[in-house]
Structure formats: C-alpha cells, structure tokens
Amino acid sequence: MALNDIHIPVMLDRCVELLSPAISAPGAVLVDATLGMGGHAEAFLERFPELTLVGLDRDTDALAIAGERLAPFGDRVHLVHTVYDGIAEALDGLGISGANGILFDLGVSSLQLDRAERGFAYSKDAPLDMRMDATAGQTAADVVASYPESALRSVFQRYGEEKLAARYARAIIAARAVEPIERSAQLVSILTDATPAALSHAGHPAKRVFQALRIEVNQELAVLETAIPAALRSLSLGGRIVVMSYQSLEDRIVKQLLVAGAASTAPVGFPVELEQHKPEFRLLTRGTELASEDEKLRNPRSTPVRLRAAERIRNVA
C-alpha cells in the first residue's frame, strides 16, 4: 500500500497558506518538528523548490520511512533523531542559525496507531509499549506494573480527564496482583469489567486511559511546555509557526504560550509602550481553526485537530 493511501497530511493546504509567506524565499529553512512519515514535509519540498527542510522525530521507524520518502530531495533534507524540544540543538548541530518556518503536528502518528505491535491502539491486542521512541524509556506496561494506585489515578485524571480514574486505578492494582498486565487486550478487559453498566455505552472505556498512559510514557505535555518556547526562540524575524493539537490539554498549552508571546510586557497603566515591551509575535489565527467538513469525511483523523499559528514581528536583542 502506498504511503499516500495510509497517511493523509492533516490541514495541508492551510499549513501551506500560513507558512508560505515565510518560506518562499531562496535559502529558507522549514523545521518539521514532528516529521512522522513525511507527508507534510514532502508536500512543502515539492511546492517550494529552494526550501531546506529539517525533520525531527523521536520515532526511529518514522525516520526510516520518511528518509526513504524524502530521498529524492537530496541534500535539501536533514533528518534528526530527537524529541521536538531539541529543536535548538538540532539546528545548531546543522550550523543553521534560525528557522523561517516551524510546523508541529502533535499527538500519536498514523504509523504508531496502524502498527499494532507498538501498543498504542486499544482496539488491537499488542504488548503494552506506547513509546514513541521504541529504543528508550519506560513502557506503558512498566507504568501499569509499578505505579502505586494514587499515581495511576493522578495520571488518568490529569492526562485522560477520566471521571472513573479512581475506579480504574483500583481495578488495575487488583488485577496486577494476580498476574502481570503486559498486553493491551488484558488492560482493555480490566477497564471494561470495571466500568459500571450505566456507563458502558458512553464511549470506549479504554480511550482516555490509553491516552493518559501514552502521554505519561512519552512525557508529551512536559516536552511540549519546553518545545514551543524553544521553537519560538528559534524563529527568525518574519518566521512563522503552525501548531496542530488533537486534544484540549495540548491546545491549552499552545494557546497560553502563543498568546503570551503576542502580548505586550509593559506594566499595566504604563503611559508609553517602550520598544522592549512590544510583542515579539502576532497571532495569525483567531482562536483555533478546525478542519473542514470535507476533510473530516476524507480523513477522519483530522476531526479533533485544533490549529494555531503565529509570526515573529520583533527580535529580542
């Protein structure tokens, strides 16, 4: 099956529209901070023939697939194995002083969802892994096996916004005392059995727990809180950033950081806004933008996306 059949880049035309004013000039650099299988990257390289692309990903499988896909573009492509908060180090390592455009397409990738053995999907039985970088770090099975009940409850509440967090944490503790919980089907069964009958039709009982475990395993929100400021610092004057989030916790962080960058730092009531207090960025979107209804029909994975964008309008000395 062709990559284009299994991976449809989300909101591609809007991403191109927002970033093109910053990356159209010869020598421009675009950082795809969440490269995945390279769908967005390929489209940008085709449309902007003098563009240099720096692709970052913590997933070695994704880097291998994207590397093959982007090979025809030769030395215009630089791929770096790193988490996306390593953007400054990646650019420094390539001798690049700043980026003209930066794209984040957050959340779990099509590759990770579609490869059952990665353990991200609650609908497919697989080892409970969920690591975006399968070469390092604790797995979801490690979290389920080692966290005390209070910590599991906190993870489910904070990262999954799960109302049954306490009930599910207790069920996991009881089940793991009988046998190790090592596969996704085991965990799904435990959660299903622990769900009250009255709530059995209120969405899949594993959805929010699996999301929470994935975020905990990969420290996604903690990384995002450092990645967006690092990206903003890496933008050249006139450079633009586009961020696509897929759940409210991500979007809340992105909103706060972009809005702060676009705000004046002048003290309240100060009669004159001095140059050093003027905003460094301007917002390019009013709130969040959503995928069109047509795109949601073509590509259901675009349904939850929330897009925000900003442009650097002032450099800090």
In the DSSP assignment, the letter for residue 294 is: H
Alpha helices in 54-196 (DSSP H): 60-70, 87-93, 110-114, 140-146, 149-160, 165-176, 184-194
Report d(CA 155, CA 8) in Å as an integer. 31
Residue 112 is assigned to a ligand binding site = yes
Residue 287 is assigned to a ligand binding site = no
Tokens 């050093």 locate to 276
State phi, psi for 189 to the nearest 5 degrees.
-65, -40
Residue 201 is assigned to a ligand binding site = no
Q: How many CB atoms lie within 10 A of CB 194?
A: 17
Residue 39 is assigned to a ligand binding site = yes
Report d(CA 224, CA 91) in Å as an integer. 18
Residue 93 is assigned to a ligand binding site = no
Report d(CA 17, CA 33) in Å as an integer. 18
Report d(CA 135, CA 44) in Å as an integer. 29
End-to-end CA distance of the chain: 51
Annotated binding residues for S-adenosyl-L-methionine, written as ranges, equal 38-40, 57, 84, 105, 112
Annotated binding residues, written as ranges, equal 38-40, 57, 84, 105, 112
